[in-house]
Structure 1
Amino acid sequence: MKTLVAGLCTAIFLAGSAASALALDVPRPLVDADWLDQHMDEVVVIDVRKDPSTFTKTGHIPGARVVKSGDLRTKRQVNGLTVDKMRPDQATFQANMRKLGINTDSAVVLTNRGEKASQVVHSTLLYWQLKYYGFDNVAILDGGNAAWDAALMDVSHDPAEAPEPGTFVAKAPREHLVATLPEVEETVEYGGPQLVDTRNLDYFLGLKTKSYVYAPGHIPKASVLPYPFMTVDDGPAVFRPVPELSAIAQYLGVDLHEPMIVYCNSGNLATANWFVAHELAGNMAARLYDGSMHQWTQEKGNPVARTIN
Structure 2
Amino acid sequence: MKTHIRYFAGAALLGLSQWALALDVPGPVVDGAWLEQNRAEVTVLDVRANPKTFTLTPEFETDKKTGKKFLVDLGGHIDGAVLVDNKKVRMDRSINGVKLKSMIPERADFEKLVRSWGVSAGRPIVIVSAGMEPLDFNDAARLYWQFKVYGEDNIAVLNGGTAGWIAEGRAVSTDAVKATEGNWAAKADRSAALLATSDDLARAQADKSAQLIDARDDAHYLGLSKSSSTSAAGHVPGARNVYTGLMSTQGGDAARLLAADTYRDVFKLSGLDAQASAIAYCNTGHQASGTWFVLSEIVGNKNAKLYDGSMHQWTLEKRPTVAVSLAK
User: Counterpart in 1 of 2:132?
Assistant: 115
User: Counterpart in 2 of 1:137?
Assistant: 154
| Residue identity opposite 1:270 in structure 2 | A
Query: Is structure 2 residue 100 aligned with structure 1 residue 101?
Result: no
Distance 1:26 1:307 in 2: 46
User: Counterpart in 1 of 2:177?
Assistant: 160
SS at match of 2:221: helix
**TM-score (normalizing by structure 2):** 0.87
| Residue identity opposite 1:54 in structure 2 | T
Q: 2:271 aligns with which of 245, 249, 253?
A: 253
> Deviation of residue 151 (structure 1)?
1.0
> Deviation of residue 12 (structure 1)?
6.0
> Deviation of residue 213 (structure 1)?
0.4
> Deviation of residue 28 (structure 1)?
0.6
Whether contact under 8 Å (2:263, 2:299) holds in the other structure is no
User: Counterpart in 2 of 1:146?
Assistant: 163
**Structure 2 CA distance for partners of 1:148 and 1:225, relative to 1, 3 Å:** same
In terms of fraction of residues, the more helix-rich structure is 1
User: Counterpart in 2 of 1:297?
Assistant: 315
SS at match of 1:67: strand
Distance 2:285 2:196 in 1: 11
Whether contact under 8 Å (1:104, 1:169) holds in the other structure is yes
User: Counterpart in 2 of 1:170?
Assistant: 186
Distance 1:189 1:303 in 2: 12
Whether contact under 8 Å (1:90, 1:171) holds in the other structure is no
**1:24-39 equivalences in 2 (<5 Å):** 24-39=23-38
User: Counterpart in 2 of 1:281?
Assistant: 299
**1:202-221 equivalences in 2 (<5 Å):** 202-221=219-238
Distance 1:227 1:294 in 2: 17
| Residue identity opposite 2:32 in structure 1 | A
Q: How many residues align?
A: 293
Distance 1:12 1:307 in 2: 73
**TM-score (normalizing by structure 1):** 0.92
**1:39-54 equivalences in 2 (<5 Å):** 39-54=38-53
Seq. identity, %: 38
> Deviation of residue 146 (structure 1)?
1.0
Query: Is structure 2 residue 83 aligned with structure 1 residue 66?
Result: yes
Distance 1:171 1:308 in 2: 48
SS at match of 2:45: strand
Query: Is structure 2 residue 247 aligned with structure 1 residue 230?
Result: yes
**Structure 2 CA distance for partners of 1:12 and 1:203, relative to 1, 3 Å:** farther
User: Counterpart in 1 of 2:98?
Assistant: 81
SS at match of 2:51: coil
> Deviation of residue 208 (structure 1)?
0.7
Whether contact under 8 Å (2:142, 2:289) holds in the other structure is yes
Distance 2:169 2:139 in 1: 23
Distance 2:23 2:16 in 1: 18
SS at match of 1:287: strand
**Aligned-residue CA RMSD (Å):** 1.5
Q: Which consecutive unaligned segments of at least 5 residues does structure 2 have?
A: 1-11, 57-74
Whether contact under 8 Å (1:45, 1:109) holds in the other structure is yes
**1:189-204 equivalences in 2 (<5 Å):** 189-204=206-221
Distance 1:128 1:257 in 2: 19
> Deviation of residue 308 (structure 1)?
4.7
Distance 1:259 1:222 in 2: 13
> Deviation of residue 160 (structure 1)?
2.2
Distance 1:278 1:189 in 2: 23
In terms of fraction of residues, the more strand-rich structure is 2
> Deviation of residue 234 (structure 1)?
2.0
